[in-house]
Structure 1
């Protein structure tokens, strides 16, 4: 495996020295040297994720679909979301806004003498078990993500943004990245602050994020495959998460208020939001105004989502 690691680092270094470093030097931005080098790796990981979706998940969707795609035009905009997200364009925007906020919070915590201990400090034996340490941090991250996801559905102003993700009638592996930029910013802020508070280090956070996002892409795939009776209760798969995107009906209003977990169904089972069945349901939302997202492109969807957000939050500010 050493040759693979060497090739990865070599590619990262070549991309950085060839394309990124000259730009930083030209615009006198060398203080961003380390962050930019890490950003190149983020970009490379994004390319890998896109290839996994395109070369593995999409063929499975065509071979073993859970439901036949009725309108192949609709998933096209989700591919735009995936490219913008996985290749770092949207994360860069979020980072530029979120970094000063989270950095200030970290400085204030240090000024107050608050330095959350890492799990290894509480359990020194973990120093010899990095995989176990990673899984513990990963579980903590997923626990926080579960409650953030419930908040996205529970607060009307947040649902106004998050509903963009649910408006897709043809859910595929590309749909995971279909999010409003403001929604992504809010989620990132909360998760980074939570991660700082429990001692997750930046390197661990990036790894957790990448593994989690790949699993989330798989859970959105239109694939009639599962992990078995026990496995489906250990890891979120397409069958479990597809119910979360189901269209609400009079018989099952807001059926999508179930199966919130991103990676581990344990949280849904513990807090009473898990629902297991293999009933075929159409995807989307029952609100015609939100369903209209399907007639828009990326920019139009961003504008429509922001308008819903403004309409939801302005009455609260006025009151």
Structure 2
């Protein structure tokens, strides 16, 4: 059945919205050929794709994090590279380095050998197995979409995405990502164990000779076009203000801080959190056949957009709290509108 027109939206914009939803579902379907379940994780990764953000997937080994990202890469007609992070990996192994080369005339000179970061979709596998020095090699690439090596700035081809996986910090041989690095990930997605029926389907697919063929259904030009469309989605001032107050509510001892935040958080979310919430909510609106953001859209994206941008204090860790618990409470304790401001507006 064809989608009904979005009320109050120009027909040309409506056509772009339909194309966005069609491409979103096409990529989703291709990933579904290889990945059983994990629907929220797939939606989260695709949200990052269509806003131009980077995704961090966390979970114990064997849950399909790498397989999901490889499936996404197969569904996109983009240059793909995988970097396996290990304790002995060096920054030059990621970015590249100048090497001495000899030409056909016997003259020697430096030539830059591009590292695996020079792709469009980069799988940084087990990123927290590498040392902080190597982890930080991704900072400039993720934020500026460029790298500096040998005193020269080199632009990365767009669209550019870093899809990273990491093991829980309780695992041996892991190095926690620095706060500055975490903040550059648009979403942090927590990959959970599969359920009974999902595990049955996984076995049926992987132990019976079942072959999966994922075809590329989306190219870089279309992705960039969809990213531009997402930014055009309307967000009303009062809905935007709710997103802002959700972020401000995570700042301990701040004006909008909730009691649980004051008790259990040491560091609140940065302005990047507000940007992530807004853009992710716009994607939710488009998928729901709307060209405006609702309060529900904001609430649905607060946790994945902020769980890695807030830090528990000692009491929070001692009490066994998680950032998800605190953020869920932020959502329920932050009013959608402030009555005093509504009254003032009517006066």
Instruction: Report the TM range for the smaller structure's normalisation.
Output: under 0.3
TM-score (norm 2): 0.23
Q: Which has the higher helix share?
A: 1
Q: Which has the higher strand share?
A: 2
Work out which of the two has the higher radius of gyration on C-alpha atoms and give 1 or 2: 2
TM-score (norm 1): 0.25
